[in-house]
Amino acid sequence: MNILEIQQLNKSYGNNKALSNVNLSIPSGGIFGVLGPNGAGKTTLIRIINQIIDQDSGEVLFKNQPLKRTHIKNIGYLPEERGLYKKMKVWDQLIYFTRLKGLSSEETKNKVEAWLERLEISHWKHKRIDDLSKGMAQKVQFISAVLHEPELLILDEPFSGFDPVNAELIKNEILSLKEKGVTILLSTHRMESVELLCDEIAMFNKSEKILSGKLKSVKNQFRTNTFELKIKNPDTLNVPATWHCMESGEYHSYHILIEEGKVNELLQQALGIGEIVGFKEILPSMEEIFIQQVKMHENG
Amino acid sequence: MDKVWLVIKREYLSRVQKKSFLLATLLTPLIFPAIMGIFIWIALDDVDRLYLSIIEVVDENNLFFIESSEQYAFSFSNTSFEEAKRMVRDGERFGAIHIPSLDLSNPSGITFYSSTTPSIGLRTFIENSLKRRIEEQKLFEAGIDPDVLDAYRTKVTLQTVTLDISGEEKISDASVNYIIGFISGILIYIFIFIYGNQIMQGVIEEKSSRIIEILVSSIRPFQLMLGKIIGIGAVGLTQFLIWIVLIGSLSAFVMGYLGLQMPQQQLMELGSPELSGQMYPDNNVYQTFMVLQSINFFQLIMTFIFYFLGGYLLYGALFAAIGAAIDAPSEAQQFMLPITIPLLIAYMGLFIFVLDDPNSNASFWLSIIPLTSPIAMMGRASYGIPFSELLLSIGLLITGFICTTWLAGKIYRIGILIHGTKVNYKTIWKWVKSD
């Protein structure tokens, strides 16, 4: 089942189109990456899902129902630009944000306690935000997005501003939420986190969705039939000119572009050159696909 | 509605629990008496250290006499005009008055010389003394004895009594009404600015720190704005009520300390006809108490609270809209005009028209138009106003704040999400027009 179904979504700000005819299905469970350069329409899309702004036309279905205010309770949101009340205490702040989501006071308290312990900031709960380090404030922010146990968690550039240790911590929390069945919508332009986390992606450029699908199939779609071959002490004189040597020494590594279905031929040829110690297909990185796609669309 | 309540609670508690709120609430009622006290202390100190300034009078008519006061002594020692001027230059005299030979029917050419400009008080004192002397002289020349004339002078004070529909008579005194209207009008004016600014600051804080993005993903912008306005208004009301209690108990304490009986007791004693034998005894203390008693304080306080809140809500929404349109408090100036101008008109109108003549046309309109009525109506309310006019004004004020809140809601909803863009009146108008 799809947790979110987006149909023919349009949004303009004056003469600027932010989203044009966007269709998107986000399946339940798993991590869905929304990628795109700045100004592609990601934030607009996220704001519409969060009901911060209204679309001009089109429909958003949450679990097959048109999106309503009552769904707020089921959605968690960590915006890219984050802020907390500086003069408010950690505890009060978390209770406030969670109660605004529609949770009762009692259920909120236990959850706040549990999350503060989990992220190891419980002894800071009676401190004001301006007494906290930036990393700790970000943990508080993350907690505020997940406290009410949403079914859909929207994370806009979740790792920006985190130090490596905290980024790792947040990454693990995201994975554990995914284990629990939470659907995560991750908007980012950090491709390494996409490769690492996302099951499915949709790529946006200039208000349009230009690409979408499962991460693996997207990568396959852009495969170039390039293979990497690692050979121990090769007979370099017999190495064909089409093999690009990437590394030499005791072990040589070659990148080889071949025709479809000619893998076995290649391996046979390689056997005559030396001892094969490694062989794998080189799939394009998301970064490469991203840059290539954006450039392609910009050049028309 | 639950969510609006949560916002109200946060806005209220986050302010009331601050030390600065406690300090401001407790100290403000003490500031005015303290300032007055300081002035009185300085004045008393002045009296103690008073030294006499001598003024030389050169009277070429040999007619005038100016009585010396505690501060000024007038010396008539037949010095020459030049000599007197020298004495002023050398600092022997504070000043010198030169009275040339006068034609009493048209006295002119009297001059005061001094090294510093004399105070208005001194000038008036000298002018009055000279005038009185000339008048006496003229009467004398006309053959009238000034003492006889004095005996004919009669003092008349007009007792003003208001008559209501039921026929009840109440002593009224415009000066008491004036003071009440003046104080309550100014209180509302100050209140709107102080708490309106707090709304604006609050909105800017949420906008610039980007908390707003999280907030509006949980609550509608309009609810958030409403909660903020009501929450901060409740802070103001709390502060005001604490002041009333403080000032009330403080004045009771001071009166007790000064050995005065409480007004009610005194009234009972003074008000009994056997004691006074007069229908309206001519007694200042009694008069003031009677006037205070004749004012319908319940109605007045209710009117005050209504206009206090009505004015705050009307302008509060506008302050919220401004906060939403800008990124930093320093940018607020360009949008403050629509708030400052009507408030200033109301404030000036209160002094120029309303307190001067509460029943004039200008006063009527100032107290009816919602943008000025919260301040102007208080000036009229203390004098008593026809119920129908009060009702009209209240109705229009309610309509007014619904309109400004609606307008502000439209600006707020879009403004809070816009960052780093130069916003002007044209952009704001676009936001208002958009769905």
The predicted complex's ipTM stands at 0.82
Q: Given a cut of 50, is residue A200 above it in pLDDT?
A: yes
Q: Is the Cβ of A91 closer than 8 Å to some Cβ of chain B?
A: no
Nearest Cβ partner of A52 from B14, B210, B216?
B216
Edge-first strand order for the sheet with A251-257 is A244-247, A251-257, A226-232, A275-282
Examine residue A218 and state whether it is found in any structural domain, yes or no.
Answer: no
In the prediction, which pLDDT does B275 show?
Answer: 45
> How large is the average pLDDT for residues A239-262?
87
Handedness of CA B73, B76, B77, B80 (dihedral sign): positive
The residue of chain A nearest to residue B219, with distances taken between CA atoms, is A100
Residues A142 and A265 in one domain: no
Query: Hey, is the C-beta of A100 within 8 angstroms of any chain B C-beta?
Result: yes
Alpha-carbon distance of B250 to B276, in angstroms, equals 31
Most confident of A35-44, A263-272, B364-373: B364-373
Query: For residue B164, what pLDDT is reported?
Result: 67
Chain centre to alpha carbon of residue B207: 36
How close A100 comes to chain B (CA, Å)? Answer: 6
d(CA A138, CA A152): 20
Paired with B300 in beta bridges are none
Determine, yes or no, domain membership for A219: no
How many Å from the N-terminal Cα to the C-terminal Cα in chain A?
35
A12, A47, A100: best to mutate for the B interface, most B CBs within 10 A? A100
Residue B288's pLDDT is 66
pLDDT at B262: 44
Task: Say how many CA atoms lie within 13 Å of B427 toward its Cβ.
Answer: 15
Mean pLDDT (chain B, rounded): 83
* Distance (Å) from the alpha carbon of A80 to chain B's nearest alpha carbon: 9
- What is the rounded distance in angstroms from the CA atom of residue A208 to the CA atom of residue A206? 6
Q: Does B10 touch chain A (CB under 8 A)?
A: yes
Cα dihedral sign for A180, A184, A189, A194? positive
Span B300-356, pLDDT tens digits: 888 888 999 999 999 999 999 999 999 888 888 889 988 999 999 999 999 888 888
| The last residue of a domain, from among A213, A238, A257 | A213
**Does residue A300 or residue B189 have the better pLDDT?**
B189
pLDDT of B286 above 80: no
Helix (H) or strand (E) holding B367: helix B361-368
What φ, ψ does residue A184 adopt, rounded to 5°?
-120, 125
pLDDT at B277 exceeding the cut of 60:
no
CATH number at residue A258: 3.30.70
Quote the tokens at residue B51.
Answer: 């030294």
Instruction: Give the span between the Cα atoms of A7 and A16, in whole angstroms.
Output: 20
Distance of CA A299 to the CA centre of its chain: 26
A176 Cβ partners below 8 Å, 6+ apart?
Answer: none
Of the residues B218, B412, B416, B431, the best mutation for testing chain A's interface (the one with the most A CB atoms within 10 Å of its CB) is: B218
**Torsion sign, CA atoms B337, B340, B346, B348:** negative
The answer, yes or no, to whether residue B274 has pLDDT greater than 70, is: no
Three-state DSSP state, A127: coil
- Residues B378 and B185 sit within 8 Å (Cβ to Cβ): yes
Number of domains in chain A: 2
**Lowest-confidence segment of A147-161, A256-270, B42-56 by average pLDDT:** B42-56
CA dihedral B284, B290, B291, B292 (to 10 degrees): 110
Residues 6+ away with beta carbon under 8 Å from B75? B54, B55, B56, B57, B93
Q: Which pLDDT belongs to residue B293?
A: 66
The predicted structure's pLDDT at residue B261:
46
Q: What is the pLDDT of residues B80-102, one digit of tens each?
A: 888 888 988 888 888 999 988 88
> Does B429 reach chain A within 8 Å, measured CB to CB?
no
Q: How far apart are CA B270 and CA B268, in angstroms?
A: 6
Mean pLDDT score, B111-116: 88
One domain, residues A237 and A137? no
The least confident of A201-205, B6-10, B68-72, B377-381 is B68-72
Q: Which residue of B has its CA nearest to A102?
A: B3
Query: How much is the average pLDDT of A68-73?
Result: 89
pLDDT at position B118: 84
Q: Which residue has the higher pLDDT, B49 or A50?
A: A50
pLDDT at A164: 86
Residue B86: both structure tokens together: 């020298």
Distance, CA of A39 to CA of A6 (rounded, Å): 19
Burial state string for B391-417 with b = 16 or more CB within 10 A and e = fewer than 16: eebbebbeebbeebbeebbbbbbbbbb
**A85 touches B at CB < 8 Å:** yes
Whether A235 and A197 share a structural domain? no
Task: For residue A72, list chain B residues with Cβ-Cβ distance below 8 A.
Answer: 217-218
- Measuring CA to CA, which residue among A232, A235, A237, A236 is closest to residue A250? A232
CA gap A202, A26 in Å, rounded: 10
The CA–CA distances, whole Å, from B389 to A78, A154, B177, B392 equal: 53, 55, 18, 5
Give B287-298 pLDDT, tens digit per residue: 666 666 666 777
CA dihedral B221, B226, B231, B235 (to 10 degrees): 130
CA separation for the pair A276, B227 (Å, rounded): 71
Task: Please answer yes or no on whether B3 and A100 come within 8 Å at the CB atom.
Answer: yes
Residues A92, A123, single domain; the answer is yes
Where are any strands of DSSP class E within B206-320?
A: none
Looking at A213, A240, A263, the residue that finishes a domain is A213
Give the three-class secondary structure for A197. Answer: helix
Pairing between strand A208-214 and A200-205?
A: antiparallel
Residue corresponding to tokens 């089921």: A74
Does the distance separating the beta carbons of A79 and B209 come in below 8 Å? no
How many beta-carbon contacts under 8 Å exist across A and B? Answer: 57
Please list, in sequence order, all residues whose beta carbon lies within 8 angstroms of the beta carbon of residue B158, skipping any fewer than 6 positions away: none
**Partner-chain contact B213 A102, CB within 8 Å:** no
The reply to whether A146 and A240 lie within a common domain is no
Testing the interface with A: which of B217, B427, B429 to mutate, by most A Cβ within 10 A? B217
Q: Contact at 8 Å (CB) between A227 and A281?
A: yes
Predicted confidence (pLDDT) per residue in B226-244, tens digit: 999 999 999 998 988 888 8
Residues B2, A100 contacting (CB under 8 angstroms):
no
Q: Which of A42, A52, A128, A156 to mutate to test the interface with B (most CBs of B within 10 A)?
A: A52
Partner-chain residue, chosen from B7, B210, B218, that has the shortest CB–CB distance to A101? B218
Assigned domain for A21 exists: yes
List, for residues B148-193, the tens digit of each pLDDT value.
Answer: 877 887 777 777 777 766 766 666 667 777 888 888 888 899 989 9
Q: Is the pLDDT of residue A32 over 50?
A: yes
The percentage of chain B sitting over the pLDDT mark of 70, rounded to a whole number, equals: 85
The whole-number pLDDT of residue B137 equals 84
Question: Is there a single domain that holds both residue A262 and residue A114?
Answer: no
pLDDT score, position B52: 78
- pLDDT over 90 (residue A201): yes
Rounded to whole angstroms, the Cα distance separating B345 from B51 reads: 46
Q: How far apart are CA B182 and CA B164, in angstroms?
A: 24
Q: Identify the CATH number of the domain in which residue A193 sits.
A: 3.40.50.300
Minimal C-alpha gap between B419 and chain A (Å): 11
Q: What pLDDT band is residue B15 in, cutting at 50, 70 and 90?
A: very high
The HSE-up count of residue B395 (CA atoms within 13 Å, CB side) is: 6
**Closest approach of A78 to chain B, Cα-based (Å):** 7
Residue B259's CB is within 10 A of a number of other CB atoms, namely 6
Q: Which domain holds residue A131?
A: 2-213
Residues in chain A: 300
Residues A108 and A228 in one domain: no
- Checking if the pLDDT of A22 tops 80, the result is yes
Average pLDDT of chain A to the nearest whole number: 89
Picking from A77, A81, A100, the nearest residue to B6 by CB comes out as A100
Q: Which residue of B lies nearest to A104 if distances are taken between CA atoms?
A: B2
The reply to whether A69 touches chain B by the CB within 8 Å rule is yes
Q: Which residues pair with A76 in a beta bridge?
A: A153
Is residue A242 in some structural domain? yes
Q: Where are the domains of chain B?
A: 2-33+172-433, 52-144
Instruction: Classify burial at B63, counting beta carbons within 10 Å of its beta carbon; exposed 0-12, middle 13-18, buried 19 or more.
Output: middle
Lowest-confidence region among A48-52, A275-279, B118-122, B289-293:
B289-293
Q: Is A84 on the interface with B (CB under 8 A)?
A: yes
Phi/psi for A114 (5° steps) reads: -65, -45
Domain covering B52-144, topology: D-Maltodextrin-Binding Protein; domain 2 (3.40.190)
- Name the residue among B21, B82, B18, B28 with its Cα closest to residue B56: B82
Tens of pLDDT, residues A285-298? 888 888 888 888 87
Same domain? A31 vs A164: yes
Give A202 or B385, the one with higher predicted confidence: A202
Question: What CA–CA distance (Å, rounded) separates A48 from A75?
Answer: 12
User: Chain B residue closest to A155 (CA)?
Assistant: B214
Rounded CA Rg of chain B: 30
One-letter-per-residue 3-state SS of B8-33: HHHHHHHHHCCHHHHHHHHHHHHHHH
pLDDT at B273: 44
pLDDT band at A58 (very low <50, low <70, confident <90, very high): very high
Cα–Cα distance for residue pair B25/B226, rounded to 1 Å: 24
Closest-CA residue of A relative to B224 is A100
A179 & A249 share domain: no
* Closest to B4 measured CA to CA, from B190, B222, B166, B159: B222
CA distance A244 to chain B (A): 50
